[in-house]
Amino acid sequence: QVQLVQSGAEVKKPGASVKVSCKASGYIFNGHYMHWVRQAPGQGLEWMGWMNPNGGVTKYAQRFQGRVTMTRDTSISTAYMELSRLRSDDTAVYYCARDLSLRDFDYWGQGTLVTVSS
Amino acid sequence: SYVLTQPPSVSVAPGKTARITCGGDNIGSKSVHWYQQKPGQAPVLLISYDSDRPSGIPERFSGSNSGNTATLTISRVEAGDEADFYCQVWDGYSDHVVFGGGTKLTVL
């Protein structure tokens, strides 16, 4: 069965970086784009970008350009999302989500809470 | 950038029908996906491509999309349907994904 298992919660200081991992299993990792979506406390879903594991091509939402980097290690079927220059308003739960066919997300990770606080 | 507008909240009595709208400029020309998110859980794909139900999603959930409004319809609402619901589209021009602001469904 398809599973996306994310790394654990993180606490970071403003200005630092955070790298969240998402280990995929139960399907061919290279066969599906991986997206990252975040959700601030009490707020809605916000799309951050996608990565094509087959080649590593990425597309980022405008507001994260220059601060986010999405990568992967195909040898261990794991996707990564790194966000730099963290601010307090980056405090959120970060999800990875598998792209089923054309930007519809059929499987989601369990979420990783990133807290940015001095 | 493309904007999707949802009502913040919808309330419905058990057994009745709930309709959650998602407004966007000519949204009928796009494919709309709907997600259900219960507290403390990741979202779940509820409806894809306007009206397709993934395996395991009850027939009580249905979707439609035309003109400037997409609609998620929940028939015979149950207490367990209480959740936040999000619509989502893909803007093919920019290859960006857009979510609506979400609608909290309350079962009275």
pLDDT tens per residue, range A35-62: 999 999 999 999 999 999 999 999 999 9
Determine whether B60 is exposed, middle or buried from the number of CB atoms within 10 Å of its CB (0-12, 13-18, 19+): middle
- In the predicted model, is pLDDT for residue B1 greater than 90? no
Cβ A98 vs Cβ A4: under 8 Å: yes
Alpha-carbon span A94 to A78, nearest angstrom: 15
H or E stretch covering A11: strand A10-12
| pLDDT mean for each 10 residues of chain A (118 residues) | 98 98 97 97 97 95 96 97 98 97 92 97
Please provide residue B33's backbone torsions phi and psi, each rounded to the nearest 5 degrees. -115, 145
- Site from A33, A101, A103, A108 to mutate, B interface, most B CB atoms within 10 angstroms: A103
Inform me whether the C-beta atom of residue B56 falls under 8 Å from chain A C-beta atoms. Answer: no
Look at residue A30 and give its three-state secondary structure: helix
- Site from A33, A104, A106, A107 to mutate, B interface, most B CB atoms within 10 angstroms: A104
- In the predicted model, is pLDDT for residue B5 greater than 90? yes
